Chain A
Amino acid sequence: MNVEELAAVKEFETVYIADKEAEIRDGYCGDLLSDVMANAPASSVLMTIQAHKNTIAVASLVGITALVICNGRSIAPDMLEAAQEEEISLFTTDLTHFEAAAKVLALL
């Protein structure tokens, strides 16, 4: 799927779309950034509650396409700035990681 299709999930709220055509081939759930760093696949969507700019740095380094911030957490303004700078799409949702992952899995 691509970012546009991800954005169409009705429980996901779009914060920022870098490239709606960008491909998403996989997904990962994790809040431990070292674990995300080591295991999240490239061209994936990451479900996480880490709503701060270091998550963007990690996403950028491993080539994650989009983030879904789960559990209704709000995004720090500097995280959005970082996302725009690194061109990583950003969504929020009230769903848990598990529920969000189910939505993503259905689209892959």
Chain B
Amino acid sequence: MQEIPINTVTSANVVLELIYRLKIKDVMTTNLITATKETTLREIQQIMRQEKITGLPIVMGKRLIGLVSMDDIIQALDKGYIEEKAQDHMSRNLIILEDDMPISFAINYFDRYRYHRFPVLNKDKELVGMITNRDITATLLIEINREVEELERRTRRVEGGILSNELFTYYIMKNDFENAGHASTEIKKRLKSASIAPQIVRRAAIASYELEMNMVVHSDGGQLIAEYSSDRLTITARDSGPGIEDVEAALEAGYSTASEWIRSLGFGAGMGLPNVQSVADDFTISSSPEGTTVEVSINLGAKEEQNE
């Protein structure tokens, strides 16, 4: 197969695969318009005009016996035998394709023989279709489009897998238990899509959720900022007050200033900040009546994970 217009060694696999996978029967026109050997060339010319086709196969039953092309019609008009029957002037020496051949054969044939159409026979030598360049172009276009869409979809997934200096800010409202956990869920999803190890994702989820809930429960509202680099996640929780009175105590497990109602929801157990601290690789906290800022870093490729 040398006469297809691309080489078969270095060309894109997806295209090569297509022109070998697609069979002529996938591409050809099966809605056949035919004539018999008794049909006059004049009638054939009219059929061609009506059907907007440039060649008509001549059949006996399902058997192909000839072809009348636009060239044959022009000749007939020129030489004055347009009223005569197809059998006397049709091309009998036909080049045909088989329906099971890959379309690379058809591409090759169009290149080699300079015809505009080829009849297609099945293995029983019955006429089953006609193939034109247009049929090939149309099908290839559709198939290539499908393949490229698939490739684009895969590429997007790969891009989603790489973390490179992204920053997301989530706004946390006071007492907004309704949306609590949204920021953490988003952070978790982002890390998962980047194929970060589950143990590390879990630590990031714990840290972000506790910080998020702390702001919902204790603060007047604030922001949770997630900053990703290729090997590190930094979560900053910055609220606008009222501040933690005793930061040291807040870092001790079991210390809580939460109300009974908050506790009844399962929060305010005095575990929040200690939990954050225990999952973080770096942890800093500063607090004043103007607000509290907690910054947490988690190494995304941490090696000690294997021991956990």
Contact check, B184 vs A32: say whether CB atoms are below 8 A apart: no
Given contacts A54-B180, A57-B209, contact A37 B275 (CB under 8 A): yes
- Nearest CB of chain B from residue A77's CB, rounded to whole Å: 13
Contact check, A34 vs B184: say whether CB atoms are below 8 A apart: no
A62 within 8 A of B: yes
Give how many B residues have a beta carbon under 8 Å from the other chain's beta carbons: 22
A46–B269 alpha-carbon span in the complex (Å): 18
State the majority secondary structure of interface residues on A: helix
Q: Which residues of A contact B181 (CB under 8 A)?
A: 54, 57-58, 60-61
Contact check, B209 vs A61: say whether CB atoms are below 8 A apart: yes
Given contacts A61-B205, A61-B209, A62-B202, contact A35 B184 (CB under 8 A): no
- Nearest CB of chain B from residue A97's CB, rounded to whole Å: 13
A33 within 8 A of B: yes
Q: Which residues of B contact A57 (CB under 8 A)?
A: 180-181, 184-185, 209
A50 within 8 A of B: yes
Q: Which residues of B contact A33 (CB under 8 A)?
A: 213, 265-267, 269
A34–B267 alpha-carbon span in the complex (Å): 7
- B206, B209, B210 pick with most chain A CB within 10 angstroms: B209
Contact check, A37 vs B265: say whether CB atoms are below 8 A apart: no
A60–B183 alpha-carbon span in the complex (Å): 13
A103 within 8 A of B: no
Residue of A nearest to B199 (CB): A42
